[in-house]
A and B are shown apart, each in its own frame.
Chain A
Amino acid sequence: MPWLIAMAVLIVLSGLFSASEAAYFYLQRQDLRFLAAGNAAQRTAARLMQQPDRLLSAVLFWNLVINMIYFTISARVGMQLENHQDGSGWGVLFAIGSVFLVIFCSEMFPKSFAVLRSRSYAGLVAIPLALAVRCVDPLLPLLRFTNLVLKRLFFPRMNPEPDLEISDLERAVELSTQDAELDEHEYRMLRNIVHLSQLRADEWMRPRRQFVTFRAPVTMQDLKEQFPPSGFVLVTKRDSDEIQYSIDADDLLDSQPGQSQMGKRLVAVPWCSSVADVYEKLRSADRQVANVVNEHGETIGIITIDDIADAVFVDTPSRTRRVIDEQPIRKIEHNVWHVMGLATIRRLEKLLNADLPETRNVTMQGVLQEVLQALPTQGDQCRWGPLHLEVLEAAERGRCRVEVRIIDPRTLEGPE
């Protein structure tokens, strides 16, 4: 009888810890936000989940200690019954019964309930659970250290995996066309919106040499020569070449002949930020132009809100097309392409379906400079990975057009 009472108490305790594990690790992000803003117990629950490893370790440890004691008692009583003179078969029955009892009463029922009411249960048991966690705190560092050593020993290359990746979002958009009844344009726009996260500012900016700037103060007379194709008049200070302000074309309508304008200050973004981040910055600052700066703080290009609109709404967005109004990559014949210097390597790689050599350069022009170790001039030829490059046209420090020939088609799965 004392064994049975001990087993009953152990079942109740085991149930409490099992339910806690299920409830806490079933909580979603929104549940945690709700708990963090709740009463004292709910806040404790949210705090416990701030160190999920610590919580998991403590709950599992307590549950295992209780279950191991329970099963040891069960095995011992079962063996005693089995060894009893008239007890043939009772011991096995007792063992099976005790296993199912623990499954139902301290695992199934509490866990099922906890999963359904994870948020309420987490708040309810938060304080006693926090105490239980504290009790085993002194022992757990040693166990966790052992766990860490074993993990590195058994799974040296395993890194924590992100919940979600951009590729998952892209797949979701891809798969949703039928289910969500997206039309062709909607699908492309959604795909472009997701792609903003991967598009780097220096890949999408209008390079510094591709736009004109005006020294302050700017009048309509100054624009007579050429109105900037970006739709914005970019203004530098008198004593500097750094762009300080932008004036929207519509704002020029109000200006009188001879009257000067200063415009709005630009937002500075680093070259490596994503276009999505640039959009976020422009939105929050209520600006329309961002200047892209390099590691030395110099402006290397600009991105306007209109350029971002292009990245979202145009079916196949291309910077080269936007900036110099030419197709960035044109197929000439089988395995031969004409590529503009501003065309991005990422686009070329995608189009050729090729593995091109690793490079820190973003554009074809950059690759040429790196391979040739000089500014490209007409007639220059070189090999880059599986490609043969020949410079067809080159302007001074400016545009160039390159013939790209696949010289080793076996390395590519390239399209016909």
Chain B
Amino acid sequence: MIWAIVILLLLGLLLSAFFSGSETGFYRVTRVRLVLDGRDGDFISRRLLWLTNNPSVFVATTLVGNNLANYLTSFAIVLASQAIYPDQNTELLISILFTPFVFVFAELLPKSTFNDSPNRLIRTIGPLFLFFAFLFAPIALVLWCFAKLLQLAVGETPLRVQLTMARQSLQRVFQEGEMAGLLTNGQRDLTRRLFACSNASINSLMKPLPQVSMIQVDSSAEEIERAVKLSRTATLVVYEGHRKNAVGYISVIEMRMREQQTIEQYCALPTFAAHCQLTEALAEMRENRIPVAGVTNPRNQVIGIVYHDDLVQAIMT
């Protein structure tokens, strides 16, 4: 008899610890991790993510399990007190005295352990928890209906996380990253600006030819100086004959260092089609150290100029 009571007591404590810990684990688990593991094809993570998206189900599973476990423990205590002190009505007193022990082993220890390491532990106990979720499904169904009614009444739904990583979700991940201190505010700004520019073509940052300060191939030193003052950039676009015929660019600083008064040599003007993505043009210009490029129309005519610094500034400042 006494062994049966001890086994009943231990079983109650173990089950209580399992459900108490997993409940805290579900509240604290990093959903992004479950999404990522789920996207990597992990079956358990997908199911666990479903459970975190449906809190009524995991709440039901942990509650049913925990209360059954606590009932088992209390029942074992009542049996033990009746066996040790028959006819003395000591059950309540023994139960209260036993509470700190239950509290430490079946509540505090598992909960604080899961609180410290929710992701790893939830993933470890996942299969067993899913088994209990299946076992208690009929009761969970009642609670699920209950929760739906509640949602209708209060007009709120719990936060859901999709098993996808669309732009919005990715931004949310970066936000969490910033809050966790992994990303700086500057990095977040960079991601925001990059997304803002995601569908932009270089057309949006192109300066139409008439607005560009250009110099003719055979410009005099005064004309070059005037163009520098007007544009306030170290790189000038060079044209031949007509302004529509942009052919290259020069570095004014290099000219000054070499004490050149007129253009002796210029770099050929690289071009991008007007529909070229801003990010693509930026990567290309950066990779090949191109400070300025022409933007062409479908007939391959240069219709404007795009500056590397403008593209960088669109994302970095």
Contacts and interface: CB of A to CB of B under 8 A. Distances in A.
Contacts of A116: 147, 150-151, 154, 156-158
Given A67-B70, A74-B74, A116-B151, A312 B112 contact: no
A60 B108 contact: yes
B15 to A, nearest CB: 13
Interface stretch (B178-186, B215-223, B294-302): B178-186
Contact of A276 (B59, B186, B253): B186
Nearest to A111: B59
B1 interface: no
A64 B107 contact: yes
Contacts of B176: 163-164
A144 B279 CA distance: 55
A108 B143 contact: yes
A180 B166 contact: yes
A137 B312 CA distance: 57
A253 B60 CA distance: 72
A75 interface: yes
Contacts of A68: 70, 73-74, 95-96, 98-99, 102
Interface in B136-190: 139, 143, 146-147, 150-151, 154, 156-159, 164-167, 169-170, 173-174, 176-177, 179-180, 182-187, 190
Contacts of A164: 30, 32-33, 176-177, 180, 182
Instruction: Kindly state the interface size class of chain A when it binds its partner.
Output: 35 or more
B290 interface: no
Interface residues of B, number: 101
B257 interface: yes
Given A160-B117, A172-B32, A197 B283 contact: no
A125 interface: no
Interface of B is mostly: helix
Contacts of B78: 72, 75-76, 79
Contact of A315 (B92, B186, B287): B287
Interface stretch (B204-212, B228-236, B241-249, B262-270): B228-236
Nearest to B94: A72
A373 B297 CA distance: 61
Contacts, number: 275
B33 A168 contact: yes
B95 A161 contact: no
A60 B103 contact: yes
Contacts of B64: 103
A264 B24 CA distance: 53
B240 interface: no
Interface string A173-190: 101100111110110111
Interface in A14-39: 22, 25-26, 28-29
A276 B178 CA distance: 12
A408 B250 CA distance: 52
A280 B95 CA distance: 58
B1 to A, nearest CB: 15
A67 B113 contact: no
B119 interface: yes
Contacts of B257: 220, 223-224, 227
A277 interface: yes
Given A186-B198, A197-B183, A52 B115 contact: yes
Contacts of A67: 67, 70
A227 B147 CA distance: 70
B256 A197 contact: no
Contact of B182 (A57, A64, A166): A166
Nearest to B33: A168
Contacts of A283: 186
A286 to B, nearest CB: 10
A107 B67 contact: yes
Interface in A231-269: 249-250, 252-253
Contacts of B67: 67, 99, 102-103, 107
Interface of B: 20, 24, 27-28, 30, 32-33, 36, 39-40, 55-56, 59-60, 63-64, 67-68, 70-71, 73-75, 77-78, 82, 91-92, 95-96, 98-100, 102-105, 107-109, 111-113, 115-120, 139, 143, 146-147, 150-151, 154, 156-159, 164-167, 169-170, 173-174, 176-177, 179-180, 182-187, 190-191, 194, 198, 228, 232-234, 252-254, 256-257, 277, 279-280, 282-283, 286-287, 312, 315-316
28 contacts: A25-B28, A26-B27, A29-B179, A56-B112, A57-B108, A69-B92, A69-B96, A71-B74, A75-B74, A75-B75, A79-B78, A111-B63, A112-B55, A115-B158, A116-B147, A139-B100, A144-B108, A147-B109, A150-B109, A159-B116, A164-B32, A179-B166, A180-B167, A185-B283, A186-B198, A188-B283, A253-B232, A305-B316
Given A76-B91, A176-B167, A227-B257, 16 more contacts: A60-B103, A60-B108, A61-B103, A69-B96, A146-B104, A147-B108, A158-B113, A164-B176, A164-B177, A166-B182, A172-B165, A173-B170, A175-B165, A197-B183, A253-B234, A279-B186
Interface of A: 22, 25-26, 28-29, 52-53, 56-57, 60-61, 64-65, 67-69, 71-76, 79, 95, 99, 102-103, 107-109, 111-113, 115-117, 139, 143-144, 146-147, 150-151, 154-155, 158-166, 168-169, 171-173, 175-176, 179-183, 185-186, 188-190, 193-194, 196-197, 220, 223-224, 227, 249-250, 252-253, 276-277, 279-280, 283, 305, 309-310, 312-315
